[in-house]
Amino acid sequence: MDELIDTAEKKVLVDIVKMVQKRGMKGTKGDWKEFLNSYDKKFGSSLSDPARRSNDVLASFLKTFDKENDLKFLANVMQCCSNRKLVDELAKRNPDKETPVQRLVCLTLQHPQYALEYSFPSYEEGWVVTKLCKKSKVRRSDDMVAIDCEMVECVDGTEALVKICVVDRNLEVKLDKLVKPNKGVANYRTEITGITDADLDGVTCSLADIQKSMKKLLSNGTILVGHSVNNDLKVLKVDHAWVIDTSLIFKYSDGPTFRRPSLNNLCKPSKKPQGDKYSVYVVYKNSQEAQQAYEDVKGNQEKDSYGRPQKLVTFQLSTGIVGNLYVRKMAHDDSVQQVSSKKRALQVEENSVMSKKLITERTILKENLADSKQLCDHLKEIESLKEQLKQTSDQCSDHLEEIERLKQELGNRDFEISVLNKMVSKLQKDKKLKKK
């Protein structure tokens, strides 16, 4: 704990001290003001704003806590702050290096509602905060588990965990347990959970047991996947920041950002299945060869709407899907008996149709190639703009760091001026007393 306190940033230490003050916590040297009176004989509690105190003073105060509950509270808050800082850094996307899985995590972290929905009161009693590993390891990790929890309504109006199921990416079950609620149950919601009072007879598994299992499953940067995972984490009382929330990464095309799609809607197909129709022409050297090919086709003899002969052919793919196609003559049977001049005229007409089709296809192909080239130029321009934006962002980041450094120096100067003013005031009073 001492090592975590010594390496923490000042903002984190200030927030923790303020939180300790609100909770009325006392260490071996009393509360915050009592500690200042004994630690700083010069100013004492007259300078009680934690933001105006040095890291050494803040750290020394936090190190006075030695009770188990107090240490657990401090550890949770420190770990939570560390996780949030790491998540903020990881949320900055790097498309060239991130995997498809990491891309989904970043989409969740960057959603406007993420900060609100995943800000848990993890400093309260009974909560568990998972530990994220180093930034580099988290970036490389694609380990993930999916979770689904069933909740019951308790007599005090809150919800309690009654069942949990966790599977890995290979659909191997990692956890499947019934949980005994630690409060009186008002409604088992059997129509949703499928659980009744009788199902919990003999169940001894508690929420604390589940928390231990989840903490182990979510170690080393494991990604937690689910729909509205924040609700599952709330009932589990587990603070885990590395998640893929399907209610955040998908959105309605015509709806507001805050409107989150239901799991039922996400499972529906985006389009209704519709059959596609295709056609192809086969040209033979002469009518005799075409007639022989048609006769070799095995199928039911029919006629199309123009009275032309055709055969219905049924086939089955290797996947088991059954399909149908028609093989049709492009002329009536009696046309075969016409004079050769008419045959040649028909062939010329068919060839003309085919030639027009080929010309059209070539024209479309050329247009597509031109569009493709233009698209490539646009993509290159976009990449160039991205690089310029990145350079500008780096410069802004440097300026912000310089501003923060100057702010800190200014704060130190204000503190020194305040101390000097008090010393001058004291000297003036002493001088007046001597004159009297």
pLDDT in tens, 299-358: 888 888 788 888 888 888 888 888 888 888 887 766 655 534 555 555 556 566 566 666
Query: 259-279, pLDDT tens digit by residue?
Result: 778 888 777 766 555 556 677
Query: 230-253, pLDDT tens digit by residue?
Result: 999 999 999 888 899 998 888 776
The angle at the Cα of 261, spanning 113 to 177, to the nearest 5 degrees, equals 85
Q: What is the pLDDT of residue 199?
A: 92
Q: What is the pLDDT of residue 52?
A: 85
Give the separation between CA 264 and CA 267, rounded to whole angstroms: 5
Answer whether 207's CB lies under 8 Å from 236's CB.
yes
Q: What is the pLDDT of residue 167?
A: 95
Give the separation between CA 247 and CA 262, rounded to whole angstroms: 7
Give the ranges where 161-220 is alpha helix by DSSP (H).
190-193, 207-217
What is the rounded average pLDDT for all residues in the chain?
81
Share of the chain above pLDDT 90, in %: 18
| 247 burial type by CB count under 10 A (0-12 exposed, 13-18 middle, 19+ buried) | buried
Pairing mode, strands 223-226 and 243-245? parallel
Per DSSP, the chain holds a count of helices (H) and strands (E) of 15, 11
Answer whether 374's CB lies under 8 Å from 367's CB.
no
Query: 190-207, pLDDT tens digit by residue?
Result: 998 899 999 999 999 999
Q: Is the dihedral of CA 238, 243, 244, 247 positive or negative?
A: positive
Strands (E), 23-179: 128-129, 144-154, 159-168, 173-178
Share of the chain above pLDDT 70, in %: 82
Residue 220 pLDDT class (50, 70, 90 cuts): confident
Q: What is the pLDDT averaged over residues 195-222?
A: 90
Answer whether 108's CB lies under 8 Å from 245's CB.
yes
Residue ranges of domains in the chain, CATH in brackets: 124-264 (3.30.420.10), 277-353 (no CATH)
Q: What is the pLDDT of residue 339?
A: 39
Distances (CA, A) of 113 to 108, 127, 260: 9, 22, 10
Q: What is the pLDDT of residue 256?
A: 66
Give the separation between CA 221 and CA 235, rounded to whole angstroms: 21
| Cα first-last separation, the chain | 55
User: What's this model's pTM, rounded to 2 decimal places?
Assistant: 0.51
Query: 360-381, pLDDT tens digit by residue?
Result: 767 776 676 676 677 777 778 8
* pLDDT at residue 50 tops 60: yes
Q: What is the pLDDT of residue 284?
A: 85
Give the separation between CA 302 and CA 312, rounded to whole angstroms: 7
154 three-class SS: strand
Residue 225 pLDDT class (50, 70, 90 cuts): very high
Give the separation between CA 11 and CA 308, rounded to whole angstroms: 84
pLDDT higher at 177 or 87:
177
The angle at the Cα of 216, spanning 213 to 221, to the nearest 5 degrees, equals 135
Give the separation between CA 197 and CA 213, rounded to whole angstroms: 24
DSSP 364-412: HHHHHHHHHHHHHHHHHHHHHHHHHHHHHHHHHHHHHHHHHHHHHHHHH
Query: 1-47, pLDDT tens digit by residue?
Result: 676 777 777 877 887 888 888 878 888 888 888 888 888 888 888 88
Q: What is the pLDDT of residue 92?
A: 67
Give the ranges where 163-300 is alpha helix by DSSP (H).
190-193, 207-217, 229-236, 246-249, 263-266, 287-296
Residue 87 pLDDT class (50, 70, 90 cuts): low
Query: 147-159, pLDDT tens digit by residue?
Result: 999 999 999 999 9
- With b meaning 16 or more CB within 10 Å and e meaning fewer, what string describes 86-99? bbeebbeeeeeeee
